[in-house]
Amino acid sequence: MKKNNLIISILIFFGIIFSVSVFAKNNIAEVPAGSENTTAQAVLMAKQKDKAVQEVDRRIAFLNEAIEKIQITKKINTDQKNALIIQVQNEITFLQQLKEKIKADTDKTTLLEDRKLVVQRYKVFGLLQSEIAIIAYADKILNIADLMDPQTTNTEAKNKIADAKSKAQKAISDILVLTFDGFPQNKSVLKASKDLLTSARQELNEARVIIKQGTTQP
Amino acid sequence: MENQTSVNGQFGSFQNKKWPWIVGAVAVVGILIYFVIDGGGSLVNNWSSITEFQNTNLNQTNQTNSNNSSTENKDIDNLLNQLDLEESRVNQSLNDTPIDIMTDD
């Protein structure tokens, strides 16, 4: 009898130990698993937000500088200048609002949609930044041509200066009609305009050489 | 008698008209003496000064024009060189790629 009680006690003891260990194991496995998932998701969202905000900030910084560049441009008319400035300001406002929304996002799905919006919106920035760079380049070419023209009576030099001017003006007029929805397909027009400016610049350099040769001759 | 008076009057009037000539002659002699004493006179010096001033001014104007022209030429060369930067900005914008913000998924 005593022997049976001893065996039963030992079995109960091991049974309790086994139950406790299984219960403890289950608890240890369940609680940290949920916590790890939540933490990992939060870390991932923070990383995604950082990248998205970084891209948005990059665009805003460029566009802020662009406004100043447009304002000092001399060779586009006031209407064209104002239209361009309004487009840039609208985009800055849009990006600033999107940035604040991304920073405040707590839901993974909403954040994903906002990140997709940043990617889709690149067409506006992509076109604006190329347009502004080309206009700034063309503007400088036209200003230099205006300075050089009165310096010479040489027909060849004058023709080259006139060619440079018309190429720079064409580059500006070609790109100002482009639309955001057409980007990046209309990149070919942007590249063609850039090639026109490269050629215009070459014409000015050649005209400069002719003018210098003329002034150094006795 | 009346005629005599008239003739005398006219004669007297004629005599009276001599004094301006005398005054004029004295003035001319005075001016001549002034030039002799002054050794050419300050008037000549002033004239030289005026001519000198005009020449200096003319030279300065020519120099300024020459300097302006030289500066203008240097400016144009600098501006032409700056086009390098503008072209590289255009290339940069055409080759711009956005930060890849979707790869974390």
Residue of A nearest to B90 (CA): A133
Within an 8 Å CB–CB cutoff, is residue A63 touching chain B? Answer: no
pLDDT tens figures, A184-205:
999 999 999 999 999 999 999 9
DSSP secondary structure letters along A13-72: HHHHHHHHHHHHHHHHHHHHHHHHHHHHHHHHHHHHHHHHHHHHHHHHHHHHHHHHHHHT
Write out the two tokens for B7. Answer: 């003739």
Whole-angstrom distance, CA of residue A92 vs CA of residue A134 = 20
Q: How many CB atoms within 10 Å of residue B55?
A: 10
Residue B19: what pLDDT?
77
Chain B closest-CA separation from residue A56 CA (Å)? 9
Q: Do B77 and A147 count as a contact with CB atoms less than 8 A apart?
A: no
Contact assessment for residue A103 and residue A49, using Cβ atoms and an 8 Å cutoff = yes
Average pLDDT over residues A106-118: 96
Chain position carrying tokens 């200096």: B56
Given phi > 0 = left and psi -120 to 50 = alpha, else beta, which region is A107? beta
**Rounded to 5°, angle at Cα B89 from B88 and B94:** 95
Residue A15: what pLDDT?
66
- CB contacts of A194 in chain B (<8 Å) are 87, 90-91, 94
Average pLDDT over residues A152-166: 97
Residue A140 has its nearest CB partner, among B72, B79, B96, at B79
The ipTM assigned to this model is: 0.80
pLDDT tens figures, A3-13:
677 677 777 76
Q: Do B79 and A115 count as a contact with CB atoms less than 8 A apart?
A: no
Residue of A nearest to B103 (CA): A48
Segment among A99-113, A140-154, B4-18, B35-49 with least mean pLDDT: B4-18
pTM (2 decimals)? 0.69
Interface with chain B: mutation pick from A73, A137, A183, A189, highest number of B CBs within 10 Å = A137
